[in-house]
Amino acid sequence: MQQELGIDLTLLSKIENGKRLPTIEQLQKLSKFYNYDDKLLIIQRESDKIANSLEYPELATETLKVAEDKIKYGNQYIQLFQDTIYQKPIPIESRRYIGSKAKLTEWIMNLIDKETENINTFVDIFAGTASVSNQAIQKYNQVIINDILYANNVIYKGFLKKGKWDKAKLNDIITNYNRLDADLIDENYFSENFGGKFYEHNTAKLIGYIRQDIENLKPELTDKEYNILLTTLIYNIDKLANTVGHFDAYIKKPIKPRPLRLRLIDAQDFDNVKIYREDANKLAQQINSDLVYIDPPYNSRQYNRFYHLYETLVKWDKPKLYGVALKPAPENNSLYCTTKAKNAFKHLVLHLNTNFLVVSYNNTYNSKSHSSENKIKLEEIEYILNKCGKTKIFECSHRFFNTGKTEFDNHKELLFITEVDEKRKNKSLTSLLCR
Ligand SMILES: C[S@@+](CC[C@H](N)C(=O)[O-])C[C@H]1O[C@@H](n2cnc3c(N)ncnc32)[C@H](O)[C@@H]1O
């Protein structure tokens, strides 16, 4: 037999005992000798290879099914797989934003629930990411969402405002954007200014191209669809930005190319929402409500400067840009980031026609950076709110927001809840405003 097969006896015994895999040539010899179908032995050999290589045998069935699809569809399978992952819509909280309360909403909403009553109209007057509004919408009859920034306004409309939109139509548009080849796209305003700085150059070309295309499509889109597409663009490029989370500066190292694959945002349409882009102090004089949630900036860092790139992208008026961080001329500077902050806060609370004031306060003060120093002191907030009514203060336990980074070591997150006493407030009005 050894002679007929031309296989060494020791090797043959190892093959028979499953200790060694035969080569194709040896297999063919064996099948001929035993009068077996070649194919059967090859299948045995291939399956042995797969079975021996599995690191998680308990997942073998699923793994083999996926492997089968991969072989069947090749590259197309990978595309298919990515498409399924990308089907999951992006939630409103998943944005990098300084001062976002995304991780604190549960704590804030539970306290509001416990400490207030008869709330019909809820106002989020410095809404930022609208993480708090998004919770309030589920609970209260009417929610007013306001922020001074253009991009935030578009984001609220995209995610939350009632309006007609066709998901299949938007998916088609996005699928086409995802098929674009950056090498075939011309330079544009976005790539010329931000390419190689805030975004890898080819990514910047795609962003500029897509932004212009959304503008070109505007006549064929409903207002809601237009806002969903812009918001989708912002939320997807947020993760690709060559920054530490804002656009005051970019990281000065070569940027690793990463694919721009748009995924639709989790757009909803609520009919209990009103959206404004107003200065909070002006809006305060136009609205009536039961509760106003107040979360202003507390240091000198202007949000319009930190998120200028999204302002430029949304307005798309292609302004002249200045400085290393390529910012446009300032618009919508906030008094809350200046020495006038305390006065602005007093005016705000005194002019709001509401039963409850809920104020978030935090100190991200870092002694090395003057710009991080709070413009309104904790005692000043407490003093002013006490003039408006009975005020309680709550402190959030560190575990809610501390990510373990040293910069958060001294971080305190407080919530003031004031039950407004109109008589007390009116009595203190003149004295407060004169101080
Ligand atoms: C601390 S952030 C709010 C964060 C928000 N609570 C969240 O969860 O994302 C302050 C927000 O106030 C906005 N803002 C600053 N000054 C304003 C003003 N005068 N009127 C309206 N909004 C203003 C900023 O654009 C920024 O989004």
User: What is the mean predicted confidence (pLDDT) over 187-216?
Assistant: 97
Q: Is the CB of 298 inside a 6 Å radius of any atom of ligand 1?
A: no
| 10-17 mean pLDDT | 82
Q: 128 in ligand 1 pocket by Cβ < 6 Å?
A: yes
> What are the C-alpha distances in Å from 38 to residues 22, 43, 302, 308?
13, 9, 74, 68
Asked whether residue 93 is assigned to any structural domain, the reply reads no
Closest approach atom of ligand 1 to CA 124: 6
Q: Are residues 251 and 380 in the same domain?
A: yes
Strands 389-395 and 412-420: antiparallel
* Tokens matching residue 384: 């002013």
Pair (281, 154) in one structural domain: yes
User: What does pLDDT average to over the chain?
Assistant: 89
Provide the number of structural domains found in the chain. Answer: 2
Closest atom of ligand 1 to CA, residue 132: 8
Examine the domain organization and report whether 316 and 407 are in the same domain. yes
Phi, psi of 398 (to 5 degrees): -55, -35
Report whether pLDDT(435) > 80: no
For the ranges 13-17, 53-57, 123-127, the one whose mean pLDDT is highest: 123-127
On whether both 279 and 340 belong to a single domain, the answer is: yes
CA nearest neighbour of 250 among 199, 211, 184: 199
Q: Which domain holds residue 399?
A: 105-166+222-434
Atom 26 of ligand 1 has which residue's CA nearest to it? 128
Q: Do 304 and 415 belong to one domain?
A: yes
User: Quick check: CB of 303 below 6 Å from ligand 1?
Assistant: yes
Tell me how far the alpha carbon of residue 360 lies from the centroid of ligand 1, in angstroms: 11
Helix (H, G, I), strand (E, B) or coil at 330: coil
Copy the structure tokens of residue 354: 């509401």
Dihedrals φ, ψ of 68, to 5°? -60, -45
Domain CATH for 237: 3.40.50.150
Distance CA 280, CA 146 (A): 7
Cβ–Cβ under 8 Å, residues 274 and 142: yes
Asked if residue 123 has its Cβ within 6 Å of ligand 1, the reply is no
8 A C-beta contact, residue 417 and residue 115: yes
* pLDDT at res. 433: 73
Question: For residue range 276-309, what is the model confidence (pLDDT) as tens digits?
Answer: 999 999 999 999 999 999 999 999 999 999 999 9
197 located within any domain: no
CA neighbor of 267 nearest in space, from 134, 125, 97, 105:
134
Q: Look up the pTM and report it.
A: 0.81
Q: Does one domain contain both 129 and 15?
A: no
Closest to 148 measured CA to CA, from 312, 353, 296: 296
Together in a domain, 268 and 156:
yes
What pLDDT is attached to residue 77? 64
Q: Give tens-digit pLDDT for 226-250.
A: 999 999 999 999 989 999 999 999 9
Q: Which of 320-324, 362-366, 380-384 has the least mean pLDDT?
A: 362-366
Q: Verify that 7 and 116 share a domain, yes or no.
A: no
Q: Does residue 47 sit in the same domain as residue 144? A: no
Task: Report if residue 201 sits inside a domain.
Answer: no
Residue 135 in any domain: the answer is yes
Q: What is the pLDDT at residue 210?
A: 98
162 domain residue, yes or no: yes
**Residue 177 clears pLDDT 60, i.e. is over it:** yes
Q: Which two tokens stand for residue 191?
A: 């790539």
> What's the rounded Cα separation, in Å, for the pair 386 and 90?
41
Least confident stretch, 88-92, 128-132, 410-414: 410-414
CA of 333 relative to ligand 1 center, distance in Å: 11
Q: How far is CA 168 from its chain centroid?
A: 23
Quote the pLDDT of residue 432. Answer: 72
Residue 158's Cβ-side half-sphere holds a number of Cα atoms within 13 Å equal to 27
On the question of pLDDT at 422 being above 80, the answer is: yes
| Assigned domain for 319 exists | yes
Q: Looking at residues 62-80, what average pLDDT do you find?
A: 72
- Measured CA to CA, the distance from residue 74 to residue 19 in angstroms comes to 32
Question: Do the domain assignments include residue 120?
Answer: yes
Q: Which of the listed residues 95, 126, 308 should we mutate to test ligand 1's pocket, taking the one with most ligand atoms within 8 A of CB?
A: 126
Most confident of 40-54, 144-158, 173-187: 144-158
Instruction: Establish if 195 belongs to a structural domain.
Output: no
Rounded Cα distance between 127 and 278, Å, is 11
